[in-house]
């Protein structure tokens, strides 16, 4: 896979304070440290189900989410843990969710980062079906437009998800309605084992914007300041009534689709090359120290702080209770809040015990 051929503008985006520059670093570090902890827990078989990494892609999620205001809504994809952290999800929630704990955000119903919070932190959890969140976010942002609320939405999809019908229908709908929506295509080179060239015949995803009649911007997804800048511009456009923007962030998935995937389909040396030359955190450290005057000690403090936070969260999450089977029946509908248990579980035959067997009923010989 070719490396991004986009040249970064080396000035920090306007208005970013020192604290914000450091916060960007902290979110990326937290994402990586938390995922590394999840790997350890996965190896101890404490994670239920699969584990999906965003190693090497942290700048995409963090930089873009950082461009939103708290009131704005974001819909993450499997590799956008960083964006959820920026939006207020806590490490302990993520850990509980992966360990299927009874007090996890979804009470054990859903896995990994499939959860949302529409009340306070404003993220809408994804489902597995790829592309489905694009029309959903079209509806969220259409609502903001109809109610004239000063809010925007941002939805992530992978390169693979752009092939779905839902992606196309959602982005087209939002474009026609001029919804305040930013669609982020995180182009990490692979969809499971499928390279981008087998996903689309388009030279670049950003070209698709032309077909929808919306602006498209492509950028180096491993340069967090550039990701921040292009997203911030798209957010400003959306806020001022300019409608949908398609962003293509060029990055690379250094881990397999999930932890069990050995990446046999990747060309030798490719992963190592990206790790050595294009790690978003390493690149940002260089800029923070060389251009913005941060000292290695300041960054080390952040690292230590993040490690402590993840340690504490792990302890809390490990002590969280497991789910209780019958809780599975709660909340399918608003009313009644709990489904009845089936006859073979709840006092076998309860519904039928009262039934009198008519006289004369017996075994037929026929």
Partner 1 sequence: MAEITFLEAIREGIAEEMERDPSVFLLGEDIGGFGGAFKVTEGLQARFGEKRVIDTPISEAGIVGAAAGAAHYGMRPVVEMQFIDFISCAYDMLTNYVATARYRAFLPCPMVVRGPSGGYVRGGPFHSQNPEAAFLHTPGLKIAYPATAEDAKGLIKSAIRDADPVLFFEHKYLYRRIKGTMPAGDHLVPFGKARVAREGKDLTIVTYAATVWKALEAAEQLAAEDGLSVEVLDLRTLLPMDHEAIVASVKKTNRVLIVHEDTVTGGVAGEITAQISERCFEWLDAPIRRVAAHDVPLPYAPPLEDFVLPQTSDIVRASRWLAAY
Ligand X SMILES: Cc1ncc(C[n+]2csc(CCOP(=O)(O)OP(=O)(O)O)c2C)c(N)n1
Region from 7-15, 103-111, 125-133, 173-181 binding ligand X, contact rule CB under 6 A: 125-133
For the chain, what's the residue count?
366
Which of 31, 104, 126, 188 contacts ligand X by CB under 6 A?
Answer: 188
Q: Which of residues 166-195 bind partner 1 (CB under 8 A)?
A: 166, 191-194
* Number of residues counted as binding ligand X (CB under 6 A): 15
Contact with ligand X (CB under 6 A): which of 105, 160, 216, 243? Answer: 160
Q: Are 341 and 329 in contact (CB under 8 A)?
A: yes
- By CB under 6 A, name the one of 26, 79, 151, 218 that touches ligand X: 79
Contact segment (CB under 6 A) with ligand X among 85-93, 155-163, 201-209, 351-359 equals 155-163
Nearest residue to ligand X by CB is 158
- Ordered DSSP codes for 147-182: TT-S--EEEEEETGGGGSHHHHHHHHHHHHTT-SEE
Q: What is the CA radius of gyration of the chain?
A: 24
Measured N-to-C along each axis, helices 280-290 and 296-318 cross at an angle, to the nearest 10 degrees, of: 140
- Residue selected from 98, 115, 173, 190 as contacting ligand X according to rule CB under 6 A: 190
> Concatenated DSSP letters for 226-271?
HHHHHHHHHHHHHHTT---EEEEEE----S-SSTT---TTSPTTHH
Q: Does 202 bind partner 1 (CB under 8 A)?
A: no
Stretch that binds ligand X, among 2-10, 189-197, 225-233, 236-244 (CB under 6 A): 189-197
Token pair for 185:
């295509």
Cβ distance 183 to 155 under 8 Å?
Answer: yes
Nearer to partner 1, 60 or 161 (CB): 161
Q: Which listed residue (19, 203, 335, 361) binds partner 1 by CB under 8 A? A: 361
Q: Which stretch binds ligand X (CB under 6 A): 145-153, 183-191, 209-217, 350-358?
A: 183-191
Opening angle at CA 192, ends 181 and 267, nearest 5: 120
The number of angstroms, rounded, from the C-alpha of 29 to the middle of its chain's C-alpha atoms is: 16
Residues 23-62 that bind ligand X (CB under 6 A): none
> Taking a C-beta distance cutoff of 8 angstroms, is the pair 321, 101 a contact?
yes
C-beta of residue 221 within 8 angstroms of C-beta of residue 249: yes
* CB 88, CB 121: distance < 8 Å: yes
Structure tokens at 344: 């073979």
Choose from partner 1, ligand X, none: what does 279 bind? Cβ within 5-8 Å by kind: none
Cα 268 from Cα 39, distance rounded (Å): 23
Residues that bind partner 1 (CB under 8 A): 48-49, 100-102, 104, 106, 108-111, 114, 127-131, 160-161, 163-166, 191-194, 198-200, 264-265, 322-329, 332, 339, 341-345, 348-349, 352, 355, 357, 361-364, 366
Residues that bind ligand X (CB under 6 A): 79, 128-130, 158-161, 164, 188, 190-192, 253, 257
């Amino acid at each position: 896979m070719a490396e991004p051929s986009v040249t970064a503008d080396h000035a920090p985006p306007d208005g970013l304070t020192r604290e914000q520059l450091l916060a960007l670093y902290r979110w990326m570090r937290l994402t990586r440290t938390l995922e590394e902890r999840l790997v350890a827990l996965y190896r101890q078989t404490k994670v239920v189900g699969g584990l999906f990494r965003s190693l090497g892609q942290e700048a995409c999620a963090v930089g873009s989410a950082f461009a939103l205001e708290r009131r704005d809504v974001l819909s993450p994809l499997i590799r956008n843990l960083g964006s959820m952290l920026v939006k207020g999800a806590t490490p302990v929630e993520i850990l509980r969710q992966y360990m299927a704990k009874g007090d996890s955000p979804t009470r054990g119903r859903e896995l990994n980062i499939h959860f949302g919070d529409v009340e306070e932190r404003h993220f809408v959890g994804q489902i597995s079906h790829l592309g489905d969140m694009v029309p959903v976010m079209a509806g969220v942002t259409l609502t903001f437009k109809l109610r004239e609320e000063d809010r925007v939405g941002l939805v992530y999809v992978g390169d693979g998800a752009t092939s779905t019908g839902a992606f196309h229908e959602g982005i087209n709908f939002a474009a026609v309605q001029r919804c305040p929506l930013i669609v982020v295509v995180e182009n990490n080179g692979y969809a499971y084992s499928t390279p981008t060239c087998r996903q689309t015949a388009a030279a670049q995803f950003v070209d698709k914007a032309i077909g929808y009649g919306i602006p498209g911007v492509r950028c180096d997804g491993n340069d967090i300041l550039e990701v921040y800048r292009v997203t911030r511009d798209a957010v400003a456009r959306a806020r001022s009534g300019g409608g949908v923007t398609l962003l293509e962030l060029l990055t690379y998935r250094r881990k397999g689709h999930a932890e069990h995937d050995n990446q046999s389909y990747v060309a030798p040396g490719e992963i190592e090359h990206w790790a050595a030359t294009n790690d978003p955190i390493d690149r940002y450290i260089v800029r923070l120290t060389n251009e913005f005057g941060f000292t290695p000690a300041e960054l080390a403090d952040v690292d230590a702080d993040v490690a402590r936070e993840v340690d504490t969260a792990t302890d809390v999450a490990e002590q969280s209770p497991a789910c209780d089977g019958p809780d599975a029946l709660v909340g399918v509908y608003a009313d009644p809040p709990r489904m009845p248990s089936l006859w073979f579980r709840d006092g076998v035959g309860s519904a039928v015990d009262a039934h009198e067997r008519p006289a004369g009923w017996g075994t037929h010989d026929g």
